[in-house]
Structure 1
Amino acid sequence: MEHDLQLRAAARAIYDACYPSEDWSPLGFDEAERFGTVHYRQAVGAAQSARALLASQGEQLALPVFA
């Protein structure tokens, strides 16, 4: 997913929102991505679903702005 920065950013946002602490997932997003955990795959699936839904409505995912 390194080639699709928008999808990766959306998956990270979903992952961080759904798994905010070690109580939910023992790994952060980067480690979960590296190991392909079920939590990571669920976040990617949710990001893909969101992208498809938004694309059907003529929307586009925006890149997050980090300060």
Structure 2
Amino acid sequence: MQHDLRHDLRLRAAASVIYDAVYPSEEWSPVSFEEAERRETVHYRQAVEAALLVRPLLTDRAEQLRLI
């Protein structure tokens, strides 16, 4: 999976939040999000995949209203 987040700042931010929530300490992932991004670690790729999967829910206003 190769997805360039440099031009999609919202998706990158979502991936970073997911990464930090799922891998909160060195026990879970020994590197920061930025380092994982640079190395394209499995942890980074999983966070990006999760962000890609949730993106339609975050951008669909009708879905947002239904969740309220």
TM-score when scaled to structure 1?
Answer: 0.80
Taking only the aligned residue pairs, the percentage that are identical comes to: 65
Mapping of residues 4-19 of structure 1, within 5 Å: 4-19=8-23
Which position in structure 1 is the counterpart of 2:32? Answer: 28
Which position in structure 1 is the counterpart of 2:52? Answer: 48
Gaps of 5+ in 2: none
Runs of 4+ in 1 over 6 A off after TM superposition: none
- Counterparts of 1:59 and 1:8, CA distance in 2: 21
| Aligned residue-pair number | 60
Gaps of 5+ in 1: 61-67
- Counterparts of 1:8 and 1:59, CA distance in 2: 21
Higher helix share: 2
- Counterparts of 1:8 and 1:44, CA distance in 2: 8
What RMSD, in angstroms, separates the aligned Cα atoms of the two structures?
A: 1.8
Q: Looking at both structures, which has the greater relative contact order when contacts are Cα pairs under 8 Å and sequence separation is at least 6?
A: 1
TM-score when scaled to structure 2?
Answer: 0.79
